[in-house]
Structure 1
């Protein structure tokens, strides 16, 4: 869509007004008129595109700009993760693992144990894939513990999000580091520290305050554990843990090989080595999940004496319930993509860049406002990094100051996720929340993560400036 020429130039102010009006229309359609989120997002995306001046003959192209890549990425991860989750749920694996966790940590600390596990899984695994894989365990623990489902589930989501936003090897901080010339090793260490502090600060508050305020039942999107399917086998706890660790190990292998490649004189040649290329392919997230799904079919199904027909039936039963999740998430990406195609993010970022704010404040605000305007955290972070690259190149900043800028941009990119963010709809659907409930919980949580991250960035900037 880079070659798109709008029929008219609305200017930065006009584009901002259009974005605000589009969000308002979407809220009214869903909350007041009870239009299904998928249809409301589609109608709003079409109206926004036409109002921005996108030519009618390129309307479908504009809709596909955000929808196609979002749907492609989410569909593979959610479908494979749901199949794995359904195998674990239907076999009784989620039940036995949740019982063991409660025995080891107690009911009061079960949610904490889940969120610690999510932190570990969140280091190499993307937010959406990690969350989907963990959902059957989160559901099972919440059923055993009782009380507020969100008090158990939200800390895990915070853990995955913090790792995804602040720490390499995730794409946002890696791309930003490369753009502004930050040392990736320093960004990795600093990002891990930031992620841990933000998780430790925000997750307990989210669990206590929001969990007590919003009461939703445990979703049954991956099936009801009391349902009798004939697939039950009461697998060993160690078997379930190994299945959950398998994709983690494969993805870590990919990350390790990429890290080794970056230390060689010719990274591309190293990656092209046949055995390296094969191992890296096995560690790509969709491939790692696919391997794990087949492993679960063998261990929990065929190897446990279940018929191939039953195994196929259980796998197929996972796909129907997540259809709505995938389509609504893709439509959220469509809405954000249309806003990106209008150029609103670039226009706002360039305007802010010329105001003359302190560099650390500008880095945060540009990323935050682009995030609010078009939804994608990764796009917000890379846009801010592109604009700040010239400032960094022209200034005399030490490496820790540059790392502080990357952290400030990362903090801005996570803030106040709302209806134009595909991740907002993923959390909404998997946590069984309405749009209003998601705005009153996940949006506020992401905003708190952004504020804490920015404060930490300011502290790091002050310390680095004094060196």
Structure 2
């Protein structure tokens, strides 16, 4: 093994190589992370055979859990989308809140919908609702779009089974039940600040009407008369809540056992099995397929097609996460993790702050939130062995990394262009609205996580 100074230099060069491959050469993040992992291993003096073994071990170890969770979660979300479950949540909340408070209902709708559905899919499905509200009330589309985007972004960033927090939790060894609980506690107030409150402010500052072609479609009539054919709000909400409830109960039972309030027995065995992410998501997916699919007239072939469609976008995300696992494993096997752990433990630098800084730096330079999360988790994961952290503290570090990977979305982030083009914003308007909203989420999430970490 090389000396500590050399290992640190190699690590810096490896991160620089990753940035060059993605930003300048425009190589796919999956290949970029694998090449970076190989460079790190070879440059640190590892035998060539050990380099490939580490990559295989890192890929397999990460994908064994993450691929299953993301894959099942994608099918679950696709069923909810295809059945109209996402629309049912949004339209029901708007009816109950009323048009005067529709910006609040859209934020809560986004918060719920992004649990099973990918961020961009949720936004594309619900943006017509934003257009319709803006047309009826003559308000800026930002007045309604920002609350929706904030709800979607917060859940997509903080609450499993969305891919980012699932991958980070697995790489840090954090319990998903605790990540869900902590993510919800932190996410709700952050979504309110970045959504309805900031949305009202920026909506009054920047007026943006729905795009002309959308206005023409709205004049012809929308899909409001089809609301009766959508599944019920209560049923969709209950189905979404099933896996979250089971995973949180599992974590609570394990906590009570650690504290000595109860012992292991049949109840523990059952909750551990049902609350495992695999079991919880499979149960929720089967229930969704039955209640939202079969009972509403979908054939077995149609449900199979829905499942197949769901796995196409999930495959790319899974591969990127897997290559991130290989990078993390290389950091451990090369000895870099031990060197970083010793260095940081001597400085008494809190890992939760380090996690945020690393994720934020990669995010600003690279743009991709997923790659930023994975890179930061790969660096921070080996360091955590030097600390004695509770399950809740590990979950807070997951939130810290997710927060850093959300900050300052700008022109190198696909989300920046997706939102700008759909809402008809100029680049400056997108920076003033979307970018600021993302930064509020990042700073709010990190700030609350940091405060909570002082008490656990």
The two structures have a TM-score, normalised by structure 2, of 0.65
Alignment partner, residue 289 of structure 2: 297
- Aligned residue pairs total 382
Q: Name the CA distance, whole Å, in 1 between partners of 2:268 and 2:295.
A: 31
Q: For the Cα contact (< 8 Å) 1:325–1:430, is it kept in 2?
A: no
Q: For the Cα contact (< 8 Å) 1:150–1:431, is it kept in 2?
A: no
Structure 2 residue 404 is the aligned partner of structure 1 residue 416: yes
Q: Name the CA distance, whole Å, in 1 between partners of 2:280 and 2:182.
A: 28
Alignment partner, residue 254 of structure 1: 250
Structure 2 residue 104 is the aligned partner of structure 1 residue 109: yes
Q: Name the CA distance, whole Å, in 2 between partners of 1:171 and 1:323.
A: 19
Q: For the Cα contact (< 8 Å) 1:375–1:417, is it kept in 2?
A: no
Q: For the Cα contact (< 8 Å) 2:78–2:117, is it kept in 1?
A: no
Q: Name the CA distance, whole Å, in 2 between partners of 1:457 and 1:161.
A: 18
Q: Name the CA distance, whole Å, in 2 between partners of 1:158 and 1:278.
A: 31
Q: Name the CA distance, whole Å, in 2 between partners of 1:201 and 1:347.
A: 40
Q: Equivalent residue of 1:35, what SS?
A: coil
Deviations 1:184-236 (A, max 9, x none): x9x99999876666666667799788xx9xxxx9xxxxxxxx9xxxxx96323
Change (3 A) 1:365 1:233: closer
Q: Name the CA distance, whole Å, in 2 between partners of 1:443 and 1:161.
A: 10
Q: For the Cα contact (< 8 Å) 1:91–1:235, is it kept in 2?
A: yes
Matches within 5 A, 1:167-182: none
Structure 2 residue 149 is the aligned partner of structure 1 residue 153: yes
Q: For the Cα contact (< 8 Å) 1:254–1:279, is it kept in 2?
A: yes
Structure 2 residue 16 is the aligned partner of structure 1 residue 31: no
Alignment partner, residue 380 of structure 2: 380
Alignment partner, residue 237 of structure 1: 233
Q: CA deviation at 1:117?
A: 4.2
Q: Equivalent residue of 1:354, what SS?
A: helix
Matches within 5 A, 1:271-420: 273=266, 275-355=267-347, 362=350, 375=375, 377=377, 380=380, 383-384=383-384, 386-389=385-388, 416-417=404-405
Q: CA deviation at 1:407?
A: 9.9
Change (3 A) 1:81 1:431: farther
Deviations 1:260-288 (A, max 9, x none): 43354773x33xx2x53123211212211
Q: CA deviation at 1:98?
A: 2.0
Q: For the Cα contact (< 8 Å) 2:107–2:151, is it kept in 1?
A: yes
Q: Equivalent residue of 2:70, what SS?
A: helix
Q: Which segments of 5 or more consecutive residues in structure 1 lack a partner in the other structure?
A: 1-5, 119-128, 165-169, 178-184, 218-225, 227-231, 393-401, 419-426
Q: Name the CA distance, whole Å, in 2 between partners of 1:343 and 1:67.
A: 18
Q: CA deviation at 1:43?
A: 1.9
Q: CA deviation at 1:315?
A: 1.8
Q: CA deviation at 1:130?
A: 3.8
Q: Equivalent residue of 1:315, what SS?
A: helix
Deviations 1:438-463 (A, max 9, x none): xx8899678625762477379x68xx
Q: Once superposed, what is the RMSD of the aligned Cα atoms?
A: 5.1
Change (3 A) 1:152 1:339: farther
